[in-house]
Amino acid sequence: MAAAAGGAGAGDAALAAAVRDFVAGQQDGRAAEVAAGVKDGGWTVLQLVEALGSSLENTDPRTRGRGIQLLSQTLLQCYSLLQEKEVLHLVLFYENRLQDHHVVIPSVLQGLRALSMCEVLPAGLAVSVLKAIFQEVHVQSLLQLDRHTVYSIITNFMGTREEELKGLGADFTFGFIQVMDGEKDPRNLLVAFQIVRDLIAKNYALGPFVEELFEVTSCYFPIDFTPPPNDPHGIQREDLILSLRAVLASTPQFAEFLLPLLIEKMDSDLQNAKLDSLQTLTACCAIYGQKELQEFLPSLWSSLRREVFQTASEKIEAECLTALHALSACLSRSVLSSDTEDLLDSFLGSILEDCRHHLCEPDMKLVWPSAKLLQAAAGASLRAYHHITHSVLPLLLEQYTKHPQSSQRRTILEMLLGFLELQQKWGHVEEDESTLLLLRAPVCSVVFSALTDPSVQLQLVGIRALVVLGSLQGFLSPSDLELVVDHLIRLSLREEDSQSSEAAMEAAASLAPNYPKVFSGRMVPRLEEELQSEPEEGSSHDHCSLRQRCLQALAAVSTHTSIVRETLPVLLQHLQKVQKGSKAGSAQEMVSVCQSLHRVALQCQQDAEGCWYCHQTVVPCLLAMAVQAAVQESTHPLPGKALLEEEVLAAMVPVISAATTHLSPELAAQSVSHVVPLFLDGEVSFLPQNSFPCSFQPFAAGEFLEAQRRVVILLMAFVCSLPRNVAIPQQERLLRELLALSCSCNCPFTATTAAKCFAGLVNKHPAGQQLDEILQLAVNRMEPGLAEGLRRTQALTLLLWVTKALVLRYHPLSSRLTDKLLALLGDTELGPAAADGFSLLMAESPDVLHKGCHADVRIMFRQRFFTENVPKLVQGFHGAGPDVKANYLKGLSHVLNHLPKPVLVTELPTLLSLLLEALSCSDRVVQLSTLSCLQPLLLEAPQIMSLHVDTLVTKFLSLTSSPTMAVRIAALRCAHALTSLPLTVLLPYRARVIRALAKPLDDKKRLVRKEAVAARGEWFLLGSPGR
């Protein structure tokens, strides 16, 4: 007992000492110790109050304040431990202290904030506390933090004691208005605006104080706040604008006060005030009805019309149109009763009265503002659309007929197009109400006449209108549809201007899915007929151009599976016909067919049925044609076999790849079981027309099999596009054959293809012993080949592609292979090619080893490669002889050029000197790569770059005279980008740069002259006002 009493006595003494140190000794750190003691159960809140007794009753207000401060800070840490009776006594104590000296009040408010968070707060005390604050505290005379505390108390009580506060009625609202009135700090305003939103959203009684609540918040409108520099609170002007807007647009009760204010601010000269008013009006329309808007509609329309007619600001015009759309939508929503005026009709009538007559003046400046206003109002609802189009569409059709000039007709048709596009929002054209259906014949007549007009610009608008009409379900009759297709065929094939031709093809692509039978039955046969027609004498060039357009149109229209079933056979038959003909220029025509096939394959990817049809139609056919040509070449070498030319085979790669990448694993496995045996065993049974004069053995030895080996590129396109989870039959054998071919083949094209195919398979190969063995075999083949012999270039190509495959998947062997590549930079023979190889490692590969063909590409592989290898490149550069230094610079330049710019900016200080040295290198590739790297850095890291401005100006100006056009253009772009550096740094060089840039103004190449004009213009403007 004595020991316990002694312990308690020691505890009381420690508490008393802590209280004394805090209150009298001004040791603020003791508050945390006291709070920790109460939290841990060492002391109770009652013991603390007893220890503070003399302090709380001291005659000196500062001493009382320190005592209450300690109690409040402790309660803020321990409020959850309090009992209901303790909370009751503490609340009564704190309420009483609100009448104390003003020095004490901040600490009292902190205590009340702690108590407002207590779950055991007895009923009625929340009301009692708030009444006491409203009556005893002049909140706006307090400091910012103390005012924030008051807002926090109110927020806490509104969150937990809503019903009690609502019992106060409008007195609570009035009390809050007194608290907020005069608030200026943005931190407090954000909280106060939220409280007002909650008052309204949770249906607190506003009573007779609606106008007062509006006034106390609207006095901040429009927000005029610029955050101080280095503001730690991060409050932006936009935060306050949105928060206040949410208050003002939260209740229709504010309408009679808010709308006059918005109209007044719309008529002001301040752009920000106009924008804020328009955006607030738009927000209000979401909750207002006819009753709130009725009185102010004429004034609102007058302000909106004036702004759209007169403003030079696109922003203000756009917000005006949005607000008008919102007003029209609001009036459209209102339910009509028999005795009320239809405000929508009268409002739209005013708009038509003020705007309609301007549509008759297509050359005048108010025609477009009027059209935009009418379209904004019409787009709000189907009712508004019918009202306006009933008046406007007949007028526009009449004006089109009245004005014969193409420019005027184009303006009128563009306005008509705007109204047609609005109809798309509601889809099906309603029979009973639609003005558009009644005007079907004249609308179609106008659009069709535009398509036959000599003006290309009018044709383009007509084509856009045609697409919109075709998208309106049930609008075009069968005869109209046939006419549409005929026009599109004529424009696609016969129109001289390529813009109209391309637009017509894209229009066919858009409309074909809606009307597949019409397009497959009418357009495809016509295109096929044109494609197969023979050229007239002396018109071979025109016929070639016509066939090119036919191919493009067939691809464009293949946007529905039923159409694809018609177009693919036509394209493939034409390819076979061109192959058999082998005339001059047939290689280029085969490439064109392959480009069309590629587009069709891409368009089929989203549809599983279309994708499989495309794959099983295209891939066997292309393989059969290539195998046929290769086998014939092996037995009877013929000159001019266009299909086996590199550019044609390369054009087939994206076709096969696009037809394969989106296959399901089951279908892909079915296909791979045929294709791989074709190349490994000559199994041709699955190919169409498979009777060949000899066997197909692309991996066999023999000088007459070179043509067959070239076809391996199609194997690459197929197997490297398969999903990773598809097993490839005889994969190990295939990899060994590819490896052998890449190292032993005399043809660089075939060797590179085999290396890429090998790399693509290695990249997707599951990790394990089999992969390790095949990679070791590859290294064993590469090392002797790189050391000496006639095939060093093939060995380097294999090294580059295998390294890329492993770098992408973070394989451990990639570091060893990269080191081999770095060592080759010092080789006088292979060094330049090895340096260019760094571009291959970092760049996106178009045909293999990219995510689109399911390659294993790890995130941030470029950053990892940079971190591991750039220090080695820099070290190698410093240790290299003068004859190979350029190789290291080229490699470094390629790595940096493909690195994400934010990463490069952080490394810039250490690497900039090397980049500047690279500009002095005579190698054009190094120069171009380095300039491409420096241009964005001038924009993104001006402070660092400005330290080297003298060197940069000298190097860039020197390179503007390079014999290589691409280097001249890149140097001029960099000279242009220099103008983003600080003005004080640039001004000493201004005259020199302007003089030097006069010479490229007379360059023989137009693109160079264009860049010179842009760069010199920026240098002329340096230091001018407003720049």
Token pair in block for residue 73:
């800070």
pTM equals: 0.80
Question: Considering only 374-383, 542-551, 667-676, which range has the smallest mean pLDDT?
Answer: 542-551
Tell me the per-residue pLDDT of 716-742, one tens digit each, with 9 for 90 and over. Answer: 999 999 998 899 999 999 999 999 999
Alpha helices in 512-585 (DSSP H): 516-518, 524-532, 540-556, 561-581
What integer pLDDT is reported at residue 585 of this predicted model?
Answer: 64
For residue 850, give the amino acid letter.
H
For residue 424, give the amino acid letter.
Q
Tell me the per-residue pLDDT of 185-230, one tens digit each, with 9 for 90 and over. Answer: 999 999 999 999 999 999 999 999 999 999 999 999 988 888 877 7
Q: Kindly report the average pLDDT of the chain as a whole number.
A: 88
Report how far residue 745's alpha carbon sits from residue 701's, in angstroms, rounded to the nearest whole number: 10
Tell me the per-residue pLDDT of 407-421, one tens digit each, with 9 for 90 and over. Answer: 999 999 999 999 999
Report how far residue 680's alpha carbon sits from residue 23's, in angstroms, rounded to the nearest whole number: 93
What integer pLDDT is reported at residue 170 of this predicted model?
Answer: 92
Whether residue 451 is predicted with pLDDT greater than 70 in this model: the reply is yes
Whether residue 1008 is predicted with pLDDT greater than 50 in this model: the reply is yes
Percentage of the chain with pLDDT > 70?
Answer: 95
Question: Considering only 105-114, 230-239, 439-448, 951-960, which range has the smallest mean pLDDT?
Answer: 230-239
Q: Which of 53, 74, 79, 78 is nearest to 64 (CA)?
A: 53
* Residues belonging to the chain: 1027
- Non-local (6+) Cβ contacts of 27 within 8 A are 21
Tell me what percent of the chain is helix, strand and coil, each rounded to the nearest 5. Answer: 75, 0, 25
946 and 953 Cβ atoms separated by less than 8 Å: no
Count CB atoms within 10 A of the CB of residue 750.
23
What integer pLDDT is reported at residue 6 of this predicted model?
Answer: 43
Band the pLDDT of 1026: cuts 50, 70, 90: low
Would you call 185 exposed, middle or buried from its count of C-beta atoms within 10 A (0-12, 13-18, 19+)? middle
Whether residue 158 is predicted with pLDDT greater than 90 in this model: the reply is yes
Give mean pLDDT, residues 100-120: 92
Cα–Cα distances in Å, from 424 out to 386, 396, 473, 649, 723?
13, 19, 9, 44, 39
Tokens 């074709």 sit at which residue?
A: 678
What integer pLDDT is reported at residue 3 of this predicted model?
Answer: 40
